[in-house]
Amino acid sequence: MRPIRISPIQPIIRTILIIFAVTWIGAVGAQAAEPVRELPLAFDMRERIAKPDLGGLARLRFLTTVDFPPFNFIDQSQKLSGFHIDLAREICRVLDIEAKCQIQAVTFQELQPALEEGQGEAVIAGVAMTDALRQRFAFTRPFLRLPARFAARVSPGNENGRGETIERSAVLAKPVGVVAGTTHEAMLKAFFPTAAAQVFPDRATMLQALKTGSVNAVFSDGMQLSFWAASPDAAACCTLVDGAYVSEHFLGEGLAIMNRKGDPALTQALDHALLELTRNGRLNEIYLRYFPTGIY
């Protein structure tokens, strides 16, 4: 396994982080203007998951990447940061194993072999839970689902978007932009069969069409739309429409932590920690830290 050097940041990752920094700052600035959406509960609050004995655990090394902002990235001080990083640290605190915890960044391609070879105990990097991976690895319960959302142009004279509520029926009365060949295009047709889809070759072209008014609304990834709508690039043209849509069939089960199948005690311990963080509100606090305007 070849660990990623934190400095210098690779050019592509640097570009991603610059875009994220601009949109995140814009989102923070918009926090006062829009209601904060709390993270939907990922666990039944009445559930009990026993904390297993981790006395024999020599270490808990979380493997992650640096190219999935705002979940894991290198910040301006060249430190590994993000939603996943803060969550991993909180998990270690809940399990009382902070001295045994480590977080290491590798390339995405190295995550699975590194875990299989014992160079880490868990992967927290947005790996999609597929049937093939479930044959090889264990997963915790999902702790965050990434929804699909509609974004629409605000009415003339209300370009700051404050206080405006756009009804879904009004959105569906006109063609809705989607990126051709994506799960969101398929999801739009399945969830809203009467909607007229206007397809675009890529996301950038679709958002530009929304910004200029060539299309009145789009249907896409809620997280990306949330950051874009709050960014300078959107120029306050648009707002997210109430309603978040999740679908295991189209969008997967959500984000979870992956570990080896031969360590069920660790899987249970991670689930125990995630439940406790849900119950005491810390998971929601971390979520709002990186998604201040919400994605739901």
Question: What whole-number distance in Å separates Cα of residue 139 and Cα of residue 261?
Answer: 8
Same domain, 36 and 117: yes
Q: Are residues 75 and 117 in the same domain?
A: yes
Residue 267 and residue 176 in contact, taking contact as beta carbons nearer than 8 Å: no
| 130 and 259 housed in the same domain | yes
Q: Rounded CA gap, 37 and 287, in Å? A: 10
Residue range(s) defining the domain that contains residue 279? 11-144+253-290
Contacts of 181 (CB under 8 A, 6+ apart): none
Check whether residue 137 and residue 265 sit in a common domain: yes
pLDDT beneath 50: ranges in the chain: 1-36, 160-161, 163
- Looking at the fold, whether 95 and 206 belong to one and the same domain comes out as no
The residues that bridge with 200 in the sheet, in sequence order, are 179
pLDDT of residue 40: 85
Number of domains into which the chain is organized: 2
Q: What is the pLDDT of residue 293?
A: 80
Task: Determine contact, residues 31/162, Cβ cutoff 8 Å.
Answer: no
284 located within any domain: yes
pLDDT tens figures, 142-166: 999 999 999 999 976 555 445 457 8
CA 238 to chain centre: 21
**Residue 4 resides in a domain:** no
- My answer on whether 131 and 182 are in the same domain is no
Looking at the fold, whether 121 and 241 belong to one and the same domain comes out as no
Residue 160 shares a structural domain with residue 118: no
SS3 annotation, 199-221: EECCHHHHHHHHHHCCCCEEEEE
Predicted TM-score (pTM) of this structure: 0.82
pLDDT tens string 182-216: 999 999 999 999 999 999 999 999 999 999 999 99
Query: What CATH number does the domain containing 65 carry?
Result: 3.40.190.10
The separation between CA 81 and the C-alpha centre of its own chain, rounded to angstroms, equals 14
Same domain for 202 and 125: no
Question: Is 5 a domain residue?
Answer: no
Q: Which of 152, 196, 203, 208 is closest to 180 using CA atoms?
A: 203
Q: Is residue 295 part of a domain?
A: no
Are 6 and 78 spatial neighbours (Cβ–Cβ below 8 Å)? Answer: yes
Pairing of strands 197-200, 238-245: unpaired
Which one-letter DSSP state was computed for residue 249? H
Q: Are residues 96 and 54 in the same domain?
A: yes
State whether 21 and 50 are in the same domain. yes
- Residue 296 included in any domain: no
Does 88 lie in the same domain as 76? yes
Rounded to whole angstroms, how far apart are CA atoms 241 and 217?
9
